[in-house]
Amino acid sequence: MFWSLDMWILRAAAVLLVLAIHEYAHAVVAVRLGDPRPKFDGRLTLNPLAHLDPVGTLMLLLFGFGWSKPVMVDPNRFANPRRGLMWVALAGPLANLALAVALNRLDGWIVPRLPWNAALATGRFLDIVVSLNIWLAVFNLLPLPPLDGSKVLAGLLPRRYAYRLASLETYGVVILLLLISSGMAGRILRPAYQAVAQLVLGV
């Protein structure tokens, strides 16, 4: 699929927005739970430049699967380290889903009130942002280290099983790349994306 230059610009802007929201949410929750490190690391900001990983951003831009620079946290700063880490991990995907819902509603309200040319560009941009937010949330909730879903699952599992899950982190990136390159990730995530889109957007 070949996109025009304006579509690439809209998609790039959308990628910057969804990544910034995702990582900012991680940082906010970590700081509120008692770990000041994200603030000292400059991650308590919506500036996309503070959160970008060049390779991960390019992957997301080109293929819809990617990553940003992780927010580093010290779970020992939390009152309950395992549950605190779970909430920090869950914050990113939840922020993306919340933004998808908000922008979907904004799309239905603002686009019909704009002039035709502005409505077309705005509608396309909002559609891309909503779609990327859902994809990023669903992708990150895969229970595979180092994705957010593994930390959420670890916070729910008994401690001994959580340790076993964490031990997969050494191989997690390799497994993840194999899933993406083989197309398995898309086959796994597409039904999840459609279910989440129907749930949060009513489509």
- Tens of pLDDT, residue by residue over 23-51, are 999 999 999 999 999 999 999 999 999 99
For 200, the token pair is 């949060």
**What is the C-alpha separation between 108 and 130, in angstroms, rounded?**
12
Residue among 35, 28, 56 nearest 140 (CA):
56
pLDDT of residue 20: 93
Place of tokens 């699967």: 65
The closest alpha carbon to 163, from 175, 149, 176, 151, belongs to 151
Average predicted confidence (pLDDT) for the chain: 87
Q: What is the pLDDT of residue 164?
A: 85
Categorize the per-residue pLDDT at 106 as very low, low, confident or very high, splitting at 50, 70 and 90.
confident
Q: Which residue in the block uniquely carries the two structure tokens 């670890």?
A: 154
Instruction: Output the six-digit token pair for 98.
Output: 């919340």
Look at the block and give the residue holding tokens 């898309």.
186
**What's the total number of domains in the chain?**
1
Banded pLDDT at 199 (limits 50, 70, 90): confident
For the stretch 190-201, what's the b/e string if a residue is b when 16 or more beta carbons lie within 10 angstroms of its beta carbon? eebbeebbeebb
The single-letter code of the amino acid at 120 is L
Over residues 102-114, mean pLDDT:
86
Cis amide linkage into residue 191, ω under 30° from 0? no
Highest mean pLDDT among 21-35, 59-73, 114-128: 21-35
Helix axes of 116-140 and 5-32: crossing angle, nearest 10 degrees: 50
**Positions marked catalytic:** 23
* Amino acid 65: pLDDT: 66
Domain range holding 100? Answer: 5-201
For 76-108, give one letter per residue: b (16+ CB within 10 A) or e: eebeebeebbbbbbbbbbbbbbebbbebbeebe
- Quick check: 11 pLDDT over 50? yes
